[in-house]
Chain A
Amino acid sequence: MSQIGSFALLLALALSTYSFLAGVLALARPGAGSERLGETARRAGIATFAVVFLAALVLVISAFHDDFSIAYIFHHSNRDLPAPYKFATLWSGQEGSLLFWSLLLAAYGFVLRLRHKTDVRLFAYASAIISAVQIFFLLLLNFAAHPFALMQGELPADGAGLNPLLQYPEMVIHPPMLYLGYVGFTVPFAFALGALIMRYPGEKWIRITRRWTMVTWAFLTCGVFLGAHWAYSVLGWGGYWGWDPVENASLMPWLTGTAFLHSVMMQEKRGMLKMWNMWLIFATFWLAILGTFLTRSGIISSVHAFAQSSIGGWFKWFLVITFVTFTFFFFKNKSHLRSEHKLESLISRESSFLFNNLLLLLACFTVLWGTWFPLISEYVQGNKVTVGPPFYNKVAIPVALLLLLLTAVGPLLAWRKTSLESLKRNFMWPALGALAVGILMVVFGVRPWQDIAYFYALMAAMLSALVGLTVASEFIRGGRVISRHTGQNLLASMVHLFHRNTRRYGGYIVHFGVAVVIIGILGTPFNQDKEKEMGFGDKMTIGPYTLVCESYTQDDNPNYSNEWAIINVFKGDRKIETMYPERRFYKASQQPQTLPRIRSTYKEDLYLTYEGLNEQTGRPIIKAHLNPLVMWIWVGVLIMIGGTVLALIPNAVPVRVPAPARIQTAPVGAGD
């Protein structure tokens, strides 16, 4: 089996090299025969997908067949590993995840090459660029991180097992989502670079890649938050985001990708920010690779240490080569990227996008800076320092609040120019609503003057309310206009409105989702936790809950042995639930793992972890966290994803103006 996999990888490298070289040659020398040469390049690209798929399939089959002659399978699987995790072996380690990356890139390339008739030449450029990226990953797989490398010496009877942290259902979907996001940004980058090289006229490439970018962004969003949910559900420290370098690595391309999604609208609609957009999409692609470099190289300590290796040098060179290549073509053809329009007013959608981009990039810079500062410090002053949550909380939160403010105000601004009068008119009710939320919070006990965290929580609540209210007001105002013209009720009118411009209103739903996520996050300053050794019948009180230890016990199965406590949860005198915080000991890997149990409600999460047994008394130590509002984070993410999906739906009703309209100032909020 391993030989089939190895051969498939070599063949894939040969095919993608051919696809790149033949593609470049066909594009460089247009003329007789170049079309046919280009077509062979396209087909070689398609074939690359089939061959990489074969290699991935071989690896998965080897995992299911417990083929421990393959070192990768030995290190990341064992006989008693449940089937879903055997499947997840593909991305559970270094070599496999690189193969998975390569597979996804080949799959994106496959779809792109099938759709080449949209614009043959532009697609040919994008195809060649994707092949170039593919070559890098296949070189890695063939010569630096071979997934089919064989074990030396006597064959082991069983594998070393999968890292216990990865034996959780979400790990079956979190990495694929994240990788779909990371790899997916290669496509808009390839189109952007292709358009730059060929001095592509107009903004058609943006329209072609719009859906790619949005889908990719949705995958990355999903991946980032699934990672957060995994950390919350598995790591057992009661939080969901620890500003770990690898978490940061996933956040950086998300931030620049979000900036790109916004600023690209300025190019599409007004022909502005062309150079900026080129750099943004390049930065997004580059940061995705940088993130992989951070994860793999081990130059920065992280809880994701399972992925460390010595392939950092390869990534370093790839980052340098892509930067030099992009910079060369940018300066060669930048005259092609001049803005077509001027900015007419400071109070306009255009300037709000500029400030939105500034803040998103600042957030990205802050995360990048915090991630790299330990290395800079070591270089400058000879010793490393830690840049952990206190740093990010102080620096990133004000930026996030400003972004939230822009999220609220932006939709109220029209393209070109907004009069202060109309801004005041449309802003007044949402602002009053947000103020009312703030007053209510103070009345109900939030004291922003006591602690900066409470101040941030208050601001975040008010701004989230502002976002929600501006989104609602946009829907209601537009719905009323349609209702007046069509006689439909308001709800039907709002649905009608949404169908007229799915991208705009889907975007608003995404904004609303962001506000809901922020509401979930703002509960953090009010978290409580308690730890207690609990014997039979012992009680612990946290918030409104009384926890009573009914029993504690242990069990054993082929994959792991475990011990857990049986905790009855009371609210007042009423028993509301029994929870089973657990600790497992995985036999193959000889590693322990804590599995928290969470009771989630819209008000708060009760989060219990089994810390271990007190060796003297033999009684379990239980840690309880009370985390307010956490559920809203996951609800908000679902809204964000839902909004993105809705924004992908094509507009159902073509927009037609029946007669020439009298020219007047664009209405507030008009446009995307």
Chain B
Amino acid sequence: MKSLPNSVLRTFQAGALALMVFALLGASDEGARFNSLGHRLMCVCGCSQILLECNHVGCTYSDRMRGELMAGLDRGENDDLTLQDFVQKYGPTVLAAPTGTGFNRVAWIMPFLALALGLLTTIFIVLAWKKRPALAAPGGVLPVSGAELERFRTQARKETQI
């Protein structure tokens, strides 16, 4: 079997190395996970703010919840389990966005469904308009002059403004 030329081999090696570098660059540490999860939870003190953004002076909830989040991460729980712990303790409103399960899925689907329907409707309208017959002058196109020409020129100015 013929071996690959050195240049090709080097290219593959460089590519593999680059992929590894990017993969490592993307690896998340504990702090990033805390930040990410903390932005997926709400403070339950009634301030309607994201957990890590609640800055109420003397808020008794956010500090405790941040501690619980850190403890969850220290226990080595995965993201889903950590969030589930919070839901069990504080109820579903602790999550900053609806989950992707059950009826909550509707929250995510509807905007995209609306986009699809809107796009289809718009395309349908555009095609229907395109099919509309043009208003043709009887007897074909005749040269125009005088007042009629001025009217066309006014319309053209109105439509192009320059």
Chain A residues near B (Cβ < 8 Å): 235-239, 242, 244, 269-270, 301-303, 339, 342-346, 351, 354-355, 358, 361-362, 365-366, 369-370, 373-374, 377, 380-381, 383-391, 394-395, 399, 414-416, 447, 449-451, 478, 500-501, 503-504, 583, 592, 594, 609, 611-612, 623, 655, 657, 660, 666, 670-672
Contacts and interface: CB of A to CB of B under 8 A. Distances in A.
A369 B107 contact: yes
Contacts of A380: 103
A594 B55 CA distance: 8
B26 A450 contact: yes
B91 to A, nearest CB: 7
B106 to A, nearest CB: 8
Nearest to B107: A373
A671 B161 contact: yes
Contacts of A242: 48-50, 53
Nearest to B157: A655
Interface in B105-162: 107-108, 110-112, 114-115, 118-119, 122, 125-126, 129-130, 132-134, 149, 153, 157-162
Contact of B153 (A354, A594, A657): A657
Contacts of A270: 159
Contacts of B102: 381
A447 B161 contact: no
Contacts of B84: none
A504 B57 CA distance: 49
Nearest to A529: B52
Contacts of B57: 583, 592, 594, 611-612
Interface stretch (B7-15, B73-81, B93-101): B93-101
26 contacts: A237-B50, A239-B53, A301-B46, A342-B130, A342-B134, A344-B130, A354-B126, A355-B122, A362-B118, A369-B107, A369-B110, A369-B111, A377-B104, A383-B93, A386-B94, A389-B39, A395-B111, A449-B22, A594-B55, A594-B57, A611-B57, A612-B57, A657-B153, A657-B157, A660-B149, A660-B153
B26 to A, nearest CB: 5
Nearest to A345: B130
Contacts of A609: 55
Nearest to B104: A385
Nearest to B121: A358
B53 A238 contact: yes
Nearest to A671: B160
Given A390-B40, A395-B111, A666-B160, A358 B92 contact: no
Contacts of B46: 301
A354 B125 contact: yes
Contacts of A370: 107
A387 B118 contact: no
A230 B138 CA distance: 63
Contacts of A478: 162
The 10 closest A-B pairs by CB, nearest first: A343-B129, A388-B96, A390-B97, A342-B132, A237-B53, A391-B97, A670-B160, A366-B111, A592-B57, A450-B26
Given A303-B49, A342-B130, A385 B159 contact: no
Contacts of A365: 111, 114
A623 B162 CA distance: 55
A263 B23 CA distance: 46
Given A351-B126, A381-B103, A301 B48 contact: yes
Nearest to A663: B156
A358 B119 contact: yes
Contacts of B160: 414-415, 666, 670-671
Given A355-B122, A377-B104, A611-B55, A389 B50 contact: yes
A588 B77 CA distance: 47
B144 to A, nearest CB: 10
A217 to B, nearest CB: 20
Most buried by A among B42, B115, B160: B160
Given A239-B53, A447-B25, A390 B104 contact: no
A449 B122 CA distance: 33
Contacts of B126: 343, 346, 351, 354
A235 B55 CA distance: 8
B103 to A, nearest CB: 5
Given A343-B126, A373-B98, A237 B54 contact: yes
Contact of A385 (B98, B110, B115, B119): B98
B47 interface: yes
Nearest to A497: B162
Nearest to A235: B55
B58 interface: yes
A387 B97 contact: yes
A414 B97 CA distance: 42
